[in-house]
Structure 1
Amino acid sequence: MNHWLTAPILIPLLGGILQVFMGYAPISLRRTLAIATTVLTLVSTIVLLVLASDDAYRLYAFGNWQPPFGIVLVLDRLAALMLVLTAVLALFCHLFAIGGTDEGNRQFHSLFLFQLLGLNIAFLTGDLFNLFVAFEVLLIASYGLLMHGGGRARTVPGLHYVVLNLVGSAVFLIAVGMIYSVTGTLNMADLAQKIPTVTGENLSIVKAGGMMLLVVFALKAALIPLCFWLPKAYARATAPVAALFAVMTKVGVYAILRVFMLIFGNDAGTLANLGMDWLFPLALITLTMGVIGALGADNLKTLVAWQVIISVGTLLAPIALGSTAGISAALFYLLSSTWTVGGLFLVADMVAQQRGSAKDKIVTAPRMRNRTFLSVLFLLGAVAAAGLPPLSGFFAKLLILQSAMAGPQMAWLWSVILIGGFFTLIAYSRAGSIVFWRTVDGHIEEPKPLGGNVSTAAGALIALSVVMVVLAGPISEYTDATAAQLQNPDGYLNILNTPMVGEDG
């Protein structure tokens, strides 16, 4: 067993517990320890990324219980990719938060680290029930983070968010119970072996449980019609929280990839590719709805929140088609879109700080301070989000389009993505021209100065769209290998035969 697998879980867990007992410590000390914890988490995920690059599966069994018994962590290429994606985003969100957003809540940093803990458990767990536990950990932390800052503007959308996710958690638990009642296991590798053998009336129970899981994951991913809670909730959250939440929908996407390619994949017999026929049209409709919402947005944060929904639709469409090339392209786009959206949330908050009472509303206002710097960041983020060359969003969408096989699905995919990208560009062009270039006479009294932490965090996340272009070759090679690994689940199933400590190999 490799103990490195526990590092992305133990580091934020211990850091979060320490923050709980440091609520009345000087804020500078709390900030230093919080950033140190996030940096250590990032380092541990990079180590795991290097380990996973050899295509081997690594297992950590708590209590040395042989799978499928007990709690297991499993590392493969996909888990390592998601861990690094999350850790990079969390570091820059945390850096932005210590610029002043974390003030007013003594437990902000503990909630932030517990959120990171839940995300990391979700990506590493090899058990359906522990995936449910991970969802609950990250959701409980997200409830507190969403309410950070207080006010009715956050309370009402936050209440909708809480209620919907509680319903989702209940459905998740019922689905898990239904599957366990038939198979007697919730270990994912064990389920992948037992699902093809289910017959008779038990088949209907497992099928119903699987479809309920798909509904829950669709809610987490914000797939239509379960996406309308997201724009207001994200737009009302503080900037670093909204930016971190950019990865929350990707947890749902990850769960669909993991569960429906491993447990209900091509080898699942009668239940093979369960629900995938529904996923493709719903993904395209989600993308279309996101574009319509972006065109109607009246402020920058709402515009970026609708971009989250656009990215979900763009991600799930090639995944639903099931090809290796499509999954690889989707993973490349997942990296680009998550970091870009996170950066745009931070930029929108910086703009709001410079425009006085106009904040981030898409209306004319007196010329803001630092307009050149902010407009360049917004331009780069918008270009990457809309999928224009030469930034990473363009290459990601190009890979998605190239992955489609000739036929009706290809025609739908190309049409929706290209037309959607055009209208997304219109939405960003409208917002940028009004906010940055259409000014009125007057001045803004004492705009809040941009701190170094704030500028660095936002600039770094936006700059990653350029870095991904430079590293497009290695990243594409990694995503290609990840997609190929997902399409061949035999290696994952072999974890059931991994010898425990003290056993002969």
Structure 2
Amino acid sequence: MNHIAIIPLLLPLFTGICLLLLREQRHYVKRAIAGISSLAQIGVAFALLQQVSNGDILVYALSNWPAPFGITLVADRLAAFMVLTTALLAVFALMYAMRGTDRNGRQFHILFQLQLFGLNGAFLTGDLFNLFVFFEVLLLASYSLLLHGGGRKRIRSGLHFVVINVVGSALFLFGVGTLYGVLGTLNMADLALEVAKVPAADMGLVKAAALLLFVVFALKAALLPLYLWLPTAYSQTSAPAAALFAIMTKVGAYSILRVYTLIFGNQAGPLSSLLDPWLLPMALATIAIGSFGLLGSKRLRQQVAYLVVISAGTLLTGFSLESTTGIAAGLYYLPHTTFATAALFLLADLIVQRRGQMEDRLEAGYVITQQKFLGGVFFALAILAAGLPPLSGFLGKFMLLRAALDHAALPYIMGFVLTSSLLTIIALARSGSLIFFEANAVDKSTNTSVKQVEPEPLQTRELLPVFALLGLCILMTFKAGSINAYCLATAQQVLDTQAYISAVLGHGAQP
């Protein structure tokens, strides 16, 4: 067995344990350990990507128990792609937190590493029950990260987040238990074989369990009507936590792609294409409601949270096409929107610190220091988020629309995606104007002076995470050809379920 497949789990887990043992140490010690670990996770993720880039599927059987009887980790192109995206996002979110956010509680770095452990485990597991376990790990860590620093608004939004996700976890357990009771296995590759042989008497139970899992994954992905927890929670938490949470909705999207192509794909007989009547309409409706929420937002951080909702709908629109080009377009769009929204959360925090009591309210107010510079960065990130040419957001949406050319729902897909981009431009242009261009030293309505806020000048360590995430999106633009080629190969591998089943269960296994 190739041990590289388990290192993305062990590294954050052992780092979290080490930090727990050293929780009484000074902050610079914990920062050094967490920072070195996060940088090492990028190296491990690149090494894993290199291992699977030729099409190999790495299977790691814990304790050498063969599938489907033991715990199995599976690293293919898709899993490695998600692990790398998470590692890149995490290192810059952590870098921003080291400005002082991590001092608001002793357990920040421990929780951050456990969150990475849960995320990487969700991407690498080959078992539905262990997917549930890793969901719980990342959710428990996210509960605490969401509340990190305290405050009435944060606690109230955190309560909603906890309650809704606890209900989702209960539904997940019901769905997993039903599948195990009927099929006798929870290994994903083995489920792909067993679902095709379900007798007619059990078909209703299996279908109900599959749709129950879809409800859970749609909740994690923030699809309409299960998105309501996200805008308040993401806009009230700390900036580093919100930046890291930009990948959490992608866990739900990943689970939908993995489960409903592998287990309920074309080989599933009567249960194949189970989500066809649901996924595309829900994804397009999510784009619409996210766009209206973006327009109606009264705070900048709430706007960024609605951008996460829109990105979830756009991403799952690509996955719902069930074609190689559609899935590849979604995969290219996934890291772009993750990095762009994370950078906007961090930038919004810098703006809040310079507006005094105005915070992030979308109202003309104080003149802030280095206003032109911050406005320029906001303008660049707004172009990214809206999908204007020539950056990666435009390329991702262009690939998506091109993949939909032969789809029966092309007019709806094109209408929703393009209209959403237009509304995003309008909303962000209005926000930028109110924050950066309508702030004057003199209030013309009353002809009185407006107090100018004078915080400390911007420092390199504040701006570096924002520019690094922006740079990753620009790099995706220049490397679009090679990244798209990888995404196409990944989509082909995802749709070739026989390769996955053979790698996990042996070459004799046939769907």
The interval holding the TM-score normalised by the smaller chain is: over 0.9
SS of the residue aligned with 2:244?
Answer: helix
- Look up the match of 2:468: 460
Distance in 1 between residues matched to 2:457 and 2:358, nearest whole Å: 16
Cα 1:407–1:13 change in 2 (3 A) is closer
Distance in 2 between residues matched to 1:200 and 1:325, nearest whole Å: 34
Question: By how many angstroms is 1:445 displaced?
Answer: 4.0
Give the one of 470, 479, 482 matched to 2:487. 479
Question: By how many angstroms is 1:75 displaced?
Answer: 0.5
| Unmatched runs of 5 consecutive residues or more in structure 1 | 500-505
Superposed counterparts of 1:374-385, under 5 Å:
374-385=374-385
Contact 1:67-1:495 at 8 Å conserved across structures = no
Distance in 2 between residues matched to 1:51 and 1:182, nearest whole Å: 36
Distance in 2 between residues matched to 1:38 and 1:444, nearest whole Å: 38
- Look up the match of 1:491: 499
Distance in 2 between residues matched to 1:135 and 1:65, nearest whole Å: 23
Distance in 2 between residues matched to 1:158 and 1:18, nearest whole Å: 27
One-letter amino acid of the structure 2 residue matched with residue 225 of structure 1: P
Distance in 2 between residues matched to 1:407 and 1:28, nearest whole Å: 55
Question: By how many angstroms is 1:455 displaced?
Answer: 0.8
Provide Cα deviations, 1:285-336, integer angstroms capped at 9, x if missing partner. Answer: 0000000000011111000000000001111112112111100001101111
- Look up the match of 1:16: 16
Q: TM-score, normalised by structure 2?
A: 0.96
Question: By how many angstroms is 1:379 displaced?
Answer: 1.1
Contact 2:189-2:505 at 8 Å conserved across structures = no
Superposed counterparts of 1:24-63, under 5 Å:
24-63=24-63
Question: By how many angstroms is 1:205 displaced?
Answer: 0.8
One-letter amino acid of the structure 2 residue matched with residue 109 of structure 1: H
Cα 1:192–1:407 change in 2 (3 A) is closer
- Look up the match of 2:447: none
Distance in 1 between residues matched to 2:136 and 2:318, nearest whole Å: 28
Distance in 2 between residues matched to 1:159 and 1:405, nearest whole Å: 43
Superposed counterparts of 1:260-409, under 5 Å:
260-406=260-406, 408-409=408-409
Question: By how many angstroms is 1:125 displaced?
Answer: 0.2
One-letter amino acid of the structure 1 residue matched with residue 471 of structure 2: A
Q: TM-score, normalised by structure 1?
A: 0.97
Contact 1:8-1:117 at 8 Å conserved across structures = yes
Deviates more, 1:207-216 or 1:447-456: 447-456
SS of the residue aligned with 2:196?
Answer: helix
Distance in 1 between residues matched to 2:42 and 2:204, nearest whole Å: 43
Provide Cα deviations, 1:354-384, integer angstroms capped at 9, x if missing partner. Answer: 1111122111122211223321221111111
Superposed counterparts of 1:229-248, under 5 Å:
229-248=229-248
One-letter amino acid of the structure 2 residue matched with residue 345 of structure 1: F
One-letter amino acid of the structure 1 residue matched with residue 399 of structure 2: L
Contact 2:368-2:453 at 8 Å conserved across structures = no
SS of the residue aligned with 2:277?
Answer: helix
Distance in 2 between residues matched to 1:215 and 1:352, nearest whole Å: 36
Distance in 1 between residues matched to 2:139 and 2:209, nearest whole Å: 22
SS of the residue aligned with 2:85?
Answer: helix
Contact 1:9-1:120 at 8 Å conserved across structures = yes
Distance in 2 between residues matched to 1:91 and 1:477, nearest whole Å: 26
Matched, 1:444 2:452: yes
Contact 1:356-1:447 at 8 Å conserved across structures = no
Distance in 2 between residues matched to 1:83 and 1:47, nearest whole Å: 11
One-letter amino acid of the structure 2 residue matched with residue 419 of structure 1: T
One-letter amino acid of the structure 2 residue matched with residue 494 of structure 1: S
Cα 1:394–1:174 change in 2 (3 A) is same
- Look up the match of 2:435: 435
Distance in 2 between residues matched to 1:445 and 1:414, nearest whole Å: 44
One-letter amino acid of the structure 2 residue matched with residue 467 of structure 1: L
Deviates more, 1:364-373 or 1:175-184: 364-373
SS of the residue aligned with 1:102?
Answer: helix
Contact 2:19-2:30 at 8 Å conserved across structures = yes
Question: By how many angstroms is 1:448 displaced?
Answer: 4.2
Cα 1:236–1:65 change in 2 (3 A) is same
Cα 1:82–1:407 change in 2 (3 A) is closer
Distance in 2 between residues matched to 1:190 and 1:17, nearest whole Å: 33
- Look up the match of 1:136: 136
Cα 1:448–1:297 change in 2 (3 A) is farther
Contact 2:354-2:453 at 8 Å conserved across structures = no
Question: By how many angstroms is 1:41 displaced?
Answer: 1.0
Contact 1:57-1:76 at 8 Å conserved across structures = yes
Provide Cα deviations, 1:477-501, integer angstroms capped at 9, x if missing partner. Answer: 00000001111111100123459xx
Question: By how many angstroms is 1:33 displaced?
Answer: 0.8
Root-mean-square deviation (Å): 1.1
SS of the residue aligned with 2:98?
Answer: helix
Contact 2:336-2:392 at 8 Å conserved across structures = yes
Distance in 1 between residues matched to 2:426 and 2:370, nearest whole Å: 24
SS of the residue aligned with 2:59?
Answer: strand
Distance in 2 between residues matched to 1:104 and 1:279, nearest whole Å: 40
Question: By how many angstroms is 1:407 displaced?
Answer: 5.2
Provide Cα deviations, 1:173-222, integer angstroms capped at 9, x if missing partner. Answer: 01001001111100000000110000122111111000000000000000
- Look up the match of 1:503: none
Question: By how many angstroms is 1:40 displaced?
Answer: 0.8
Distance in 1 between residues matched to 2:407 and 2:132, nearest whole Å: 38
SS of the residue aligned with 2:6?
Answer: helix
Identity value in percent: 46
Contact 2:231-2:302 at 8 Å conserved across structures = yes
Distance in 2 between residues matched to 1:123 and 1:406, nearest whole Å: 31
SS of the residue aligned with 2:74?
Answer: strand
One-letter amino acid of the structure 1 residue matched with residue 84 of structure 2: V
Provide Cα deviations, 1:2-50, integer angstroms capped at 9, x if missing partner. Answer: 1011111111001111111222211111111111111111111110011
Superposed counterparts of 1:131-280, under 5 Å:
131-280=131-280
SS of the residue aligned with 1:276?
Answer: coil
- Look up the match of 1:66: 66
- Look up the match of 2:478: 470
Provide Cα deviations, 1:399-451, integer angstroms capped at 9, x if missing partner. Answer: 00000133540010001101111011000000011111111223434414433
One-letter amino acid of the structure 1 residue matched with residue 329 of structure 2: A
